[in-house]
Every structure is written in structure tokens, then in C-alpha cells.
């Protein structure tokens, strides 16, 4: 399986890199401990993926970098982007078993 990147997410990633982060090679997604449900997502931009520690996924002309530990929880996830109210990057993660009330953290 892999991390999937929708066309809308790819366009936004490339737009941000081109405009604000030209040194970045792609978006980094990681899992970190925290939140009321135990885990939360972290988004950043990757400068240079580490061949030993990271997995790189490319789809629709954009790259997503995930460390191998986070990949265990993100395998099969789709990254999307939408504008508007409550817009932004969204992860459709099939591994999530429950989320907290505010939707900021989850358990697997």
C-alpha cells in the first residue's frame, strides 16, 4: 500500500513550496503522541528525505515524506485538500479506530 495524494492536495503542496518554501522537496507527515485520544498528525515540509529513515510517495506531481515509524499508522491513507470553511489538508486514514471530540487526535 502507500500514501495517496489527491490532485487538490498535490496542487496545494506545490503552490506552497513554490511560493513560500522553495527549498522543500515535499510535504512531511508524521504521527506524534499527544491529544486527548493519544496520537495526532504533524505536517511540515521536508528538506531532504533520509533514505534510511523515510519513505517518499509521489502522486499527481507532488511528494509526501513519511518516517518509517509513522508509516506504520499511515499506510493506506489519502491526503486531500479543500478550501473554505474547515478547509485545509485532511487525512483519510483507514487505520483510525476512534477520534477525540474535537477531531484533533485519534487512536489506532
What's the mean pLDDT in 74-84? 93
Residue-level pLDDT at 87:
85
Q: What pairs with residue 39 in β-bridges?
A: 33, 106
Domain count of the fold of the chain: 1
Q: Please give the C-alpha separations between residue 92 and each of 5, 51, 77, 100, in angstroms, as whole numbers.
A: 11, 26, 5, 15
The alpha carbon of 79 is separated from its chain's Cα centroid by a whole number of angstroms, namely 6
Q: Are 102 and 108 in contact (CB under 8 A)?
A: no
Percent of the chain with pLDDT over 90: 65
Q: What range does the domain containing 50 cover?
A: 4-107
For range 62-79, the mean pLDDT: 95
- What is the Cα–Cα distance from 21 to 15, expressed in whole angstroms? 9
Q: Residue 14: give its domain's CATH number.
A: 2.60.300.12
Position 50 pLDDT exceeds 60: yes
More confident site: 96 or 58? 58
Instruction: Write down the mean pLDDT value for the chain.
Output: 88
Amino acid at each position: 500500500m502507500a500514501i495517496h495524494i489527491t490532485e487538490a492536495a498535490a496542487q496545494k503542496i506545490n503552490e506552497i513550496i513554490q511560493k513560500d518554501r522553495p527549498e522543500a522537496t515535499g510535504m512531511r507527515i508524521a504521527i506524534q503522541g499527544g491529544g486527548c485520544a493519544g496520537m495526532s498528525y504533524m505536517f511540515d515540509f521536508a528538506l531532504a528525505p533520509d533514505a534510511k529513515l523515510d519513505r517518499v510517495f509521489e502522486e499527481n506531481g507532488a511528494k509526501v515524506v513519511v518516517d518509517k515509524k509513522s508509516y506504520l499508522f499511515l499506510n493506506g491513507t489519502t491526503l486531500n485538500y479543500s478550501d473554505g470553511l474547515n478547509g485545509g489538508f485532511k487525512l483519510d486514514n483507514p487505520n483510525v479506530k476512534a477520534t477525540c471530540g474535537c477531531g484533533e487526535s485519534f487512536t489506532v
